[in-house]
Amino acid sequence: MVRIAMVAGEASSDQLAAHLIVALRKHLPDAKFYGIGGPKMQREGFDSLWPAEMLAVRGYAEVLRHYRAIAGMRRQLLRRLLADKPDVFIGVDGYDFNLWLERRLKGAGIPTIHYVSPSIWAWRKKRIHNIVRSVGHILALYPFEPALYKGTAVKCSYVGHPLADVIPLEIDQRQVREKLGVAVGRPVIALLPGSRQAELHFMAETFIETAKLLLERHPQLQFLVPLVSRETRLQFETALWKLKADELPFTLMFGHATDAVAASDVVLVASGTATLETALVGRPMVIAYKMSPWSWRLMRNMGYLPWVGLPNILARRFVVPEFLQDEATPENLAQALGNLLVDRQAHAAISRVFAGIHRMLRQDTAQKAADAVLPYLQKA
């Protein structure tokens, strides 16, 4: 039996890995997939040895607080994989956790594949040296990434982004609104405050205060808030109660982020994969992000690019506004969202840019990724 070990600790990684499992099973229906993974992977038959939520922490302060538990879990997984070697190891994103594992597994003769190139184009370029020591093959989501590995021992394959395959090139907003029970003529803003509890800790109240300001200027507004778990929903509900906003027109949803974005006119979104999803749906957005002050002080001077949002990075310019840390105030966010809400010319221009990004990333990603992995398994 072919045995494939994987680690995917975050919601976006879980989705990437689940798509890859489905594509590989078409060729290897009896393959065993195991390691650390989330609910989408588990629905495809993945055996998760530890809860993936243990890895879903972000920022230096948060990682340090959980470091002992994470490091202990990683050492146990390494011992298990070295004692009973898989045919290949695929680390899905999760640079710090997975590169440590991959370096040791590669040294033991296990083929190592890293799915999602670490963002060396954005910050910490010196990481490429560790990547070369640790990884045999990179599966890159973005077309400019293979050039970064030219001249190194690492093979890099551009596979596109699976969200670009899953999300249709055109979505009927009216149809989605009818499905969700949202009035067709009413202005709607989707709020995506993050998928992690740590993100909502810093973002939820800011997003709610922003909505309150917007309602003063646009009283017909409705807000759709897709949340990924009961925990994050409880956090957001607690913030609504604390800010006396629980009677305002917020519709909280379990998941269905794509529907919420498609039904909206404008989106307020925490930086991350959700910004790309919003772009692929074709909706204008404002990007906001906050983290602990200590993490922000450490990270603010490490970046090489003027953008943090994926749509702006892919377009190589500021297509949509970004507000980070102290600039992510309700006043700034409400002003930017209000501008986008009424500017139809800006809507059309942004939509054209996003349509180009969608076509560029639409590569039948899962199959391309599987095609890159299969030669290692055929050798096995």
DSSP state of 147: G
Choice among 59-73, 264-278, 358-372 with the minimum mean pLDDT: 59-73
Residues 120 and 192 in one domain: no
Choice among 88-102, 178-192, 304-318, 357-371 with the minimum mean pLDDT: 304-318
Q: Is residue 297 over pLDDT 90? A: no
Residues 315 and 371 in one domain: no
- Write the pLDDT tens digit of every residue in 127-161: 888 899 999 999 999 998 999 899 999 999 999 99
Q: Flag whether 168 is in a domain.
A: no
Q: Is residue 303 over pLDDT 70? A: no
- Write the CA distances from 189 to 52, 199, 259, integer angstroms: 31, 19, 12
- Write the pLDDT tens digit of every residue in 88-105: 999 998 888 899 999 999
For residue 35, what is the domain's CATH number?
3.40.50.2000
Strand arrangement of the beta sheet that strand 137-140 belongs to = 47-51, 32-37, 3-7, 88-92, 112-115, 137-140, 155-158
Question: Which two structure tokens, joined as six digits, stand for 237?
Answer: 């509900």
Q: How far apart are the C-alpha atoms of 353 and 253, rounded to whole Å?
A: 29
Residues 258 and 123 in one domain: no
Q: Flag whether 165 is in a domain.
A: no
Domain of 148 in residue numbering reads as 3-160+363-379
- Write the pLDDT tens digit of every residue in 39-56: 999 999 999 988 776 665
Residues 260 and 325 in one domain: yes
CB 8 within 8 A of CB 97: no
The whole-number average pLDDT for the span 27-48 is 94
Q: How many CB atoms lie within 10 A of CB 238?
A: 14
Q: How far apart are the C-alpha atoms of 286 and 320, rounded to whole Å?
A: 6
CB 146 within 8 A of CB 159: no
